Amino acid sequence: GAGVSQTPSNKVTEKGKYVELRCDPISGHTALYWYRQSLGQGPEFLIYFQGTGAADDSGLPNDRFFAVRPEGSVSTLKIQRTERGDSAVYLCASSLTIRYHYEQYFGPGTRLTVT
Amino acid sequence: AQKITQTQPGMFVQEKEAVTLDCTYDTSDQSYGLFWYKQPSSGEMIFLIYQGSYDEQNATEGRYSLNFQKARKSANLVISASQLGDSAMYFCAMREDTGRRALTFGSGTRLQVQP
């Protein structure tokens, strides 16, 4: 079956603009995660969903970042008033459930560049 | 708080030889999972192997095995018979059954396989 997909693959935006990043998880996966990976570092947790609700958003760096998953499938990460420090690869992952023994499958990522 | 430490920023190995990538972790949870992911230059995160905290035997997946030493809180990845295609970044990650359910990643080890 299809894996996790993310669009766009690349996004270049100007400082101060609003961006939306989309994630389409593996069908049937109830848990969805967003991570951010800066150059040379491991991914860092942003937020995760169990179904439609955000179960833990403690990784979001500030209130410019917001994510939704209205129907329990596709998720959108929204960044307002982008800053150059937001430049990174944004990774989405999904897993069958949130239980610890289920692996997470990652999408190819969206590379965000803020100029 | 959970923490993953990978002390080897870079490793070299000759083709066909075995290599061990180190990972130590810290958690107060009794139930947790340890994961290794491979990230080639293309950027995708590829799941390699999983070890549960209650698993008595070390996990193996083809040429990958996980040397799990619970008392020492280490979960080293062993790659046997290295191939040129194994050259990539390798990340160790942990996921707790309580508390934060998302993956916490180490800083990664860049493995280069030499012919």
Q: Shortest CB distance from B43 goes to which of A33, A56, A109?
A: A109
Does B30 or B20 have the greater pLDDT score? B20
Which residues in chain A land under pLDDT 70? Answer: 1, 100-101
Q: How confident is the model at residue B109 (pLDDT cuts 50, 70, 90)?
A: very high
How far apart (Å, rounded) are the C-alpha atoms in residues A92 and A2? 14
Q: Which of A30, A34, A36, A103 to mutate to test the interface with B (most CBs of B within 10 A)?
A: A103
Confidence of residue B98 (pLDDT cuts 50, 70, 90): confident
Q: What is the pLDDT of residue A99?
A: 74
Per-residue model confidence (pLDDT) at position A1: 57
Q: Do A106 and B45 touch (CB under 8 A)?
A: yes
Written as six digits, the tokens of B56 are 């008595």
Greater model confidence, B7 or A103: B7
Read off φ and ψ for residue A84, nearest 5 degrees: -60, -30
Contacts of B103 in chain A (CB under 8 A): 33, 35, 43, 45, 93, 104
Of A28, A75, A39, which is closest to residue A54 (Cα–Cα)?
Answer: A75
pLDDT tens for B29-56 read: 898 999 999 999 988 899 999 999 999 8
CB-CB: which of B33, B46, B93 is closest to A101?
Answer: B33
Flag whether residue B69 sits within 8 Å of chain A, measured between CB atoms.
no
Q: So what's the pLDDT on residue B2?
A: 61
Give percent above pLDDT 70 in chain B: 97
Task: State yes or no: pLDDT of B17 exceeds 70.
Answer: yes
Contact indicator for A42, A109 with CB cutoff of 8 Å: no
DSSP code string of B39-74 = E-TT---EEEEEEETT--SPPEETTEEEEEETTTTE
Size of interface A-B (CB pairs under 8 A): 66
Residue B92 pLDDT level (bands cut at 50, 70, 90): very high
How far is B52 from chain A, CA to nearest CA, in Å?
6
Minimum distance, in Å, between the CA of residue B45 and any CA atom of chain A = 6
- Nearest by CB to residue A100, choosing from B37, B43, B95, is B95
